[in-house]
């Protein structure tokens, strides 16, 4: 008998703990890492994204693409 492995796409990251102005490290399922100040959420055409402002740019990361989000030192 084989076991079913749940799809990672079906899982969601709990982003309720994020606080505007705090710094976080976000890692995507593809292994990309972004570190920056959390500015909030934007929703475009039903696609929820977190906004992180780093030293050189501001990034918008799809919540569905997130693997993890951790607090980071400033």
Report helix, strand or coil for 64: helix
For 25-45, b/e burial (b = at least 16 CB within 10 A) is: ebbeeeeeebbbbbeeeeeee
Give domain limits for the chain. Answer: 10-71
State the Cα–Cα distance between residues 10 and 19, nearest whole angstrom. Answer: 25
CATH number, domain 10-71: 2.30.30.520
**pLDDT for 10-19, tens place per residue?**
445 778 889 9
For the entire predicted model, the pTM comes to 0.77
**pLDDT for 16-54, tens place per residue?**
889 999 999 999 999 999 999 999 999 989 999 999 999
Q: Provide the 8-state DSSP code for 40.
A: E
State the Cα–Cα distance between residues 24 and 52, nearest whole angstrom. Answer: 8
């Amino acid at each position: 008998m084989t076991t079913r492995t749940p799809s990672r796409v079906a899982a969601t990251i709990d982003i309720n703990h994020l606080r505007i102005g705090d710094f976080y490290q976000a890692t995507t399922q593809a292994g990309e890492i972004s570190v920056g100040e959390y500015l909030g959420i934007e929703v475009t055409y039903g696609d929820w994204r977190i906004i992180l402002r780093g030293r050189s740019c501001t990034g918008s990361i799809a919540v569905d693409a997130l693997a993890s989000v951790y607090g980071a030192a400033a």
